[in-house]
Structure 1
Amino acid sequence: MIYELRRYTLHPGRRDTLITLFEREFVEPQEAVGMRVAGTFRDPDAPDTFTWLRAFPDMEARRAALEGFYDGPVWRAHRDAANATMIDSDDVLLLRPSGPELPSWERPPAGAAELPAALYVATICHVGEGFAEFFAGQVAPALAEAGTPPVGCLESEHAENTFPRLPVRTGENVFVWFTRFARPEDERQADLPMLDARLTAPPVRLRLRPTARSSMR
């Protein structure tokens, strides 16, 4: 499985416009050509961003699915409206599973408006070689003991970008884990001193609230 973790910077005040358009027009057409929209989120700490995940069986399937969508009638009809909300859409990490797969629920139908109560936290770490084994052996048990077990783990996929029309970040080696809290008020952080010597840059912590039609809920 191949994942894209996509984080868009938007024009001020345009996030809800994009999410409404996205959930109405873009979810089912993307999945119809072979990809899965795994999660869509608002970041309460960054109101002019939109963060989402999509998944593909492999890199060749990614190429075919992206060609099918971006050369198709749905994107052609709505791309100008979508692009008008965005300042930048190139902050994209190409990832593969490295531990538990991300959770998934049945997606509510188009037009759903009720927001899930959950909060996800994505921790993005810049790391050296062998970090996945270190994480599984030392970090994941510490997270579980602290009551914040990872519900999904991803690491960099370094294969060549099979759809260069959409850039991805290169020259980086990252490990990303997701934690889920039933409510934002349940959020807490584990003390992980063992990470200090294993990271090549300070970790980035994204707090993510699922949108109404997100499969991660």
Structure 2
Amino acid sequence: MSGTGPDRHPAVIELRQYTLRPGRRDELIALFEREFVETQEEAGMAVLGQFRDLDDPDRFVWLRGFADMDTRREALSAFYGGPVWAAHGPRANATMADSDNVLLLRPAPGSRGPAPGLSVRPGVGAAAPDRFVAAALWHFPPGVEGGEAGDAGDSGDDDGVRLILNRLVPLLAQAGPAPFAVLTTEPAANTFPRLPVRTGENVVAVLTSYPDEDAHRRHLADVMALPLVRDEILPGVERARTAAPQLLRLVPTGRSLIR
């Protein structure tokens, strides 16, 4: 099946973390990959990646993207007001305990949206790939936005957002695989209030794909061994953050384009 269609480097990205009712994750994934992939894309959005969370057997994580906030409103209105959701939405909702843990994000300055690892999407029933995806989420005070990548002026490295964008991300790319997405909070108001998103957030999300989790561990160890990271960058991030960072340990589903 074709993986073309909507823009694969979207300007607006939703990172959606669903808490499911016990034991029902595989049921939702099967339904999602059969009924909700092509039909969402036909409505004007990009279904970028679907994942099982290794730390929670009842969590389903996925990413979808939009060209802009107006397109998001139109696409979501078309899909959730259309016949596919009317037919299959109740069954999907029955698997979920909470679907409101949603971050509205955008590519960090100087970067593009998430780049899929595949140009052609596998068909329904495809086996999950042997890949590992790490998503690191850092939280900072609202209103502190990152500058252009590489802009490390006197004020540029005084806050955690710029420390990650301007200093940590380049070192991650030098020491191992470059992140396939570096995202920051989209500050625009939610254009589709029927689906809540987290507000008052200031998040930096760094997503990287690896052959396996051992490769991820080696990459982190190599970066942490750098004195600049250990002695300057991470202590600065620690001082600036408002909550402990979250690391999502993810494995792609069979039809995920990101892997």
Into which bin does the TM-score normalised by the smaller protein fall?
over 0.9
Report the Cα distance in structure 2 between the residues aligned to 1:211 and 1:34, rounded to whole angstroms: 22
* TM score, norm. by length of structure 1: 0.94
Which stretch shows the higher mean deviation, 185-194 or 168-177?
185-194
Paired letter, 2:87: A
- Please list every run of 5 or more consecutive structure 1 residues that lacks an aligned counterpart in the other structure: none
Report the Cα distance in structure 1 between the residues aligned to 2:164 and 2:122, rounded to whole angstroms: 37
Which of 170, 180, 200 aligns to 1:141? It is 170
Match of 1:124 in 2: 137
Match of 2:245 in 1: 203
Shift of 1:45: 1.1
Instruction: Please give the residue correspondences for 1:11-22 in structure 2 after superposition, counting only pairs within 5 Å.
Output: 11-22=21-32
Which stretch shows the higher mean deviation, 93-102 or 29-38?
93-102
Shift of 1:80: 1.1
Match of 1:158 in 2: 187
Shift of 1:118: 1.3
Which stretch shows the higher mean deviation, 170-179 or 196-205?
196-205
Shift of 1:107: 4.0
Paired letter, 1:196: E
Per-residue CA distance 1:186-208 (angstroms, 9 max, x = gap): 22123244122232221100011
Report the Cα distance in structure 2 between the residues aligned to 1:103 and 1:11, rounded to whole angstroms: 31
Match of 2:45 in 1: 35
Per-residue CA distance 1:61-96 (angstroms, 9 max, x = gap): 000000000000000000111011000000000000
Report the Cα distance in structure 1 between the residues aligned to 2:243 and 2:125, rounded to whole angstroms: 39
1:106 matches 2:119: yes
Shift of 1:19: 0.2
> Higher strand proportion, which one?
1
Which of 190, 201, 210 aligns to 1:172? It is 201
* TM score, norm. by length of structure 2: 0.80
Per-residue CA distance 1:81-126 (angstroms, 9 max, x = gap): 1011000000000000013432211243432322111111000001
Shift of 1:36: 0.2
Match of 1:73 in 2: 83
Report the Cα distance in structure 2 between the residues aligned to 1:125 and 1:39, rounded to whole angstroms: 20
Q: Which structure: larger Rg?
A: 2
Per-residue CA distance 1:3-50 (angstroms, 9 max, x = gap): 000000001100000000000000001000100001100011111010
Report the Cα distance in structure 2 between the residues aligned to 1:110 and 1:148, rounded to whole angstroms: 27
Report the Cα distance in structure 1 between the residues aligned to 2:241 and 2:112, rounded to whole angstroms: 21
- Please list every run of 5 or more consecutive structure 2 residues that lacks an aligned counterpart in the other structure: 1-10, 147-160
Report the Cα distance in structure 2 between the residues aligned to 1:73 and 1:100, rounded to whole angstroms: 33
Shift of 1:137: 2.2
Report the Cα distance in structure 2 between the residues aligned to 1:103 and 1:177, rounded to whole angstroms: 13
Secondary structure, aligned partner of 1:187: helix
Q: How many residues align?
A: 217
Report the Cα distance in structure 2 between the residues aligned to 1:24 and 1:210, rounded to whole angstroms: 16
